[in-house]
Structure 1
Amino acid sequence: MFKHIGYIIIAICCTGPVLGQAPQPKPNIVVILADDMGFSDIGCYGSEISTPNIDRLAREGLKMTQFYNAGRCCPSRAALLTGLYPHQAGLGDMVKYKGSPAYQGYLNEHSATIAELLKEQAGYNTIVSGKWHVGLQKSALAYNRGFDKSFTMLNNGSSYFNSAPLYNDGSKITFMLNDQEITRNDTSKYLTQAITDFAVKSLEEIKNDQKPFLMYVAYNAPHWPIQALPGDIAKFKGQYLEGWDALRKQRYKKQVALGIIKKSWALSSRDKRAPAWDSLSEEDKEKWDTRMAIYAAMVYRMDACIGEIMAKLKQLGKDKNTIILFASDNGGSADEVRSLKTVIQKNGEPGSVNSIDSYEIPWANLSNTPFKLFKRNTHEGGIATPLIACYPGHIKAGSTGSNVGHLIDLMPTCLELAGVTYPAQFKNRELTPLAGKSLIPVFTGKKNNVERTLFWEHEGSRAIRKGKWKLVAEPKQPWELYDLEADRSEMNNLAAKYPAKVIELEREHKAWADKVGVVDWERIKDL
Structure 2
Amino acid sequence: MARSLLICAGVLVAASACVYTAPDSSSGMLLHVRNHARERVFRWEPAKTALIVCDMWDDHWCEGAARRVAELAGPMNDMISAARDRGIFIIHGPSSVVSFYDGSPQRARAKAAPFAKSPVPLSESERWGTTWCWPDPKREPGMPIDDTDMGCDCDKKCTIREAWSRQIASIDIHPDDAITDNGQETYNLLAARGIDNVILCGVHLNMCVLGRPFGIRQMVNVGKNVVLMRDMTDTMYDHRRRPFVDHFAGTDLVVEHVERHWCPSITSTDITGKTPFRFKEKAARPPRSDAPIERPNILLIVADDLGWNDIGYHNGKMRTPNLDRLAETGVELDCHYVQPQCTPTRVALMTGRYPSRFNMRCTQASNDLAFPVGTPTMASMLKGAGYATGMSGKWHLGSKPKWGPNHHGFDHSHGSFAGAVGMYDHRYRIGSPFAVTWHRNHKLIKEEGHVTDLTTKETVRWIEAHHDAKKPWFFFVPFHAVHTPLVERDARWNAMNQHIKSDDRRLYASAVSHMDHAIGRMVDALERTGQRGRTIVVFTSDNGAQVNHGGGAYPPPDPKLKNFSSNKPLRGKKTDVYEGGYRVPALVSWPRVLLPRKVAQPMHAVDWVPTLAKLAGAAAPPGDGQDVWTHLTSDAPQTDRTFYIVWGTGRRRESLRHGDWKILRNKRNVPWELYDLARDPFETRNLAKKRPEKLAALTQVYAAQRAADAR
Match of 1:481 among 667, 674, 679: 674
**Structure 1 residues 358, 128: CA separation in 2 closer, same or farther (over 3 Å shift)?**
farther
**Structure 1 residues 19, 72: CA separation in 2 closer, same or farther (over 3 Å shift)?**
farther
Q: Which residue of 2 aligns with 1:28?
A: 297
Report the more deviating stretch, 147-156 or 488-497: 147-156
Does the CA-based 8 Å contact 1:6-1:394 persist in structure 2?
no
Q: Which residue of 1 aligns with 2:659?
A: 467
Amino-acid identity (%): 29
Does the CA-based 8 Å contact 1:331-1:382 persist in structure 2?
yes
Does the CA-based 8 Å contact 2:400-2:417 persist in structure 1?
no
Which segments of 5 or more consecutive residues in structure 2 lack a partner in the other structure? Answer: 1-242, 246-287
Report how far residue 168 of structure 1 moved. Answer: 3.1
Write the deviation string for residues 116-167 of structure 1: whole angstroms up to 9, x where unpaired: 11111x2111110111111124453111111112112112211100234532
Does the CA-based 8 Å contact 1:42-1:49 persist in structure 2?
yes
SS at match of 2:484: coil
Write the deviation string for residues 83-134 of structure 1: whole angstroms up to 9, x where unpaired: 111122442333355xxxxxxx4222463111111111x2111110111111
Q: Which residue of 2 aligns with 1:327?
A: 540
Q: Which residue of 2 aligns with 1:145?
A: 408
SS at match of 2:313: helix
Write the deviation string for residues 341-364 of structure 1: whole angstroms up to 9, x where unpaired: xx25x7xxxxxxx4202533x233
Report the more deviating stretch, 155-164 or 462-471: 155-164
Q: Which residue of 2 aligns with 1:269?
A: none
**Structure 1 residues 173, 506: CA separation in 2 closer, same or farther (over 3 Å shift)?**
farther
Report how far residue 221 of structure 1 moved. Answer: 0.5
Q: Which residue of 1 aligns with 2:706?
A: 513
* Structure 1 residues 242-261: aligned runs within 5 Å: none
Write the deviation string for residues 235-255 of structure 1: whole angstroms up to 9, x where unpaired: 1565232xxxxxxxxxxxxxx
**Structure 1 residues 70, 19: CA separation in 2 closer, same or farther (over 3 Å shift)?**
farther
After TM superposition, the score normalised by the length of structure 2 is: 0.57
For the pair shown, the structure with the greater C-alpha radius of gyration is 2
Report how far residue 500 of structure 1 moved. Answer: 1.5
The whole-number CA distance in structure 1 between the counterparts of 2:641 and 2:445 is: 44
Report how far residue 387 of structure 1 moved. Answer: 1.4
Work out whether 1:44 is the aligned partner of 2:313.
yes
After TM superposition, the score normalised by the length of structure 1 is: 0.76
SS at match of 1:491: coil
* AA matched with 2:491: G
* AA matched with 1:483: D
* Structure 1 residues 78-89: aligned runs within 5 Å: 78-89=347-358
Report how far residue 294 of structure 1 moved. Answer: 1.0
Match of 1:128 among 368, 388, 391: 391
Match of 1:389 among 570, 580, 588: 588
* AA matched with 2:533: K
The whole-number CA distance in structure 1 between the counterparts of 2:599 and 2:370 is: 33
Match of 1:94 among 365, 372, 380: 365
The whole-number CA distance in structure 1 between the counterparts of 2:427 and 2:477 is: 23
Report how far residue 450 of structure 1 moved. Answer: 2.8
The whole-number CA distance in structure 1 between the counterparts of 2:685 and 2:340 is: 22
Report how far residue 290 of structure 1 moved. Answer: 1.6
The whole-number CA distance in structure 1 between the counterparts of 2:496 and 2:559 is: 17
Q: Which residue of 1 aligns with 2:325?
A: 56
**Structure 1 residues 451, 164: CA separation in 2 closer, same or farther (over 3 Å shift)?**
closer
* Structure 1 residues 59-458: aligned runs within 5 Å: 59-90=328-359, 91-96=362-367, 105-109=369-373, 111-120=375-384, 122-164=385-427, 166-169=429-432, 171-184=434-447, 188-235=448-495, 238-241=498-501, 289-338=502-551, 343=553, 354-360=556-562, 362-364=563-565, 367-397=566-596, 399-423=597-621, 433-458=622-647
Does the CA-based 8 Å contact 2:358-2:710 persist in structure 1?
no
Q: State the Cα RMSD in Å.
A: 2.2
Aligned length: 421
SS at match of 2:391: strand
| Structure 1 segments (4+ residues) deviating >4 Å | 18-21
**Structure 1 residues 56, 192: CA separation in 2 closer, same or farther (over 3 Å shift)?**
same
The whole-number CA distance in structure 2 between the counterparts of 1:26 and 1:233 is: 36
The whole-number CA distance in structure 2 between the counterparts of 1:484 and 1:145 is: 37
Report how far residue 53 of structure 1 moved. Answer: 0.7
The whole-number CA distance in structure 1 between the counterparts of 2:357 and 2:392 is: 25
Report how far residue 76 of structure 1 moved. Answer: 0.2
Name the structure, 1 or 2, with higher relative contact order (CA <8 Å, separation 6+): 1
The whole-number CA distance in structure 2 between the counterparts of 1:20 and 1:381 is: 33
Does the CA-based 8 Å contact 1:295-1:359 persist in structure 2?
no
SS at match of 2:678: coil
Report how far residue 169 of structure 1 moved. Answer: 4.4
Q: Which residue of 2 aligns with 1:501?
A: 694
Write the deviation string for residues 478-511 of structure 1: whole angstroms up to 9, x where unpaired: 2111110011100011111001211221222122
Write the deviation string for residues 25-68 of structure 1: whole angstroms up to 9, x where unpaired: 31111111000000121111224111111111111111111110
The whole-number CA distance in structure 1 between the counterparts of 2:465 and 2:297 is: 15
Does the CA-based 8 Å contact 1:34-1:220 persist in structure 2?
yes
The whole-number CA distance in structure 2 between the counterparts of 1:81 and 1:47 is: 32
**Structure 1 residues 145, 164: CA separation in 2 closer, same or farther (over 3 Å shift)?**
closer
* AA matched with 1:391: W
The whole-number CA distance in structure 1 between the counterparts of 2:301 and 2:493 is: 23
The whole-number CA distance in structure 1 between the counterparts of 2:364 and 2:399 is: 14
The whole-number CA distance in structure 1 between the counterparts of 2:429 and 2:460 is: 28
Write the deviation string for residues 261-307 of structure 1: whole angstroms up to 9, x where unpaired: xxxxxxxxxxxxxxxxxxxxxxxxxxxx2211111111001110111
SS at match of 2:539: strand
SS at match of 1:24: coil
The whole-number CA distance in structure 1 between the counterparts of 2:328 and 2:441 is: 35
The whole-number CA distance in structure 2 between the counterparts of 1:498 and 1:214 is: 46
* AA matched with 2:476: Y
Does the CA-based 8 Å contact 2:601-2:638 persist in structure 1?
no
* AA matched with 2:416: M
* AA matched with 1:500: E
**Structure 1 residues 319, 177: CA separation in 2 closer, same or farther (over 3 Å shift)?**
same
Q: Which residue of 2 aligns with 1:252?
A: none
Which segments of 5 or more consecutive residues in structure 1 lack a partner in the other structure? Answer: 8-17, 98-104, 242-288, 347-353, 424-432, 519-527
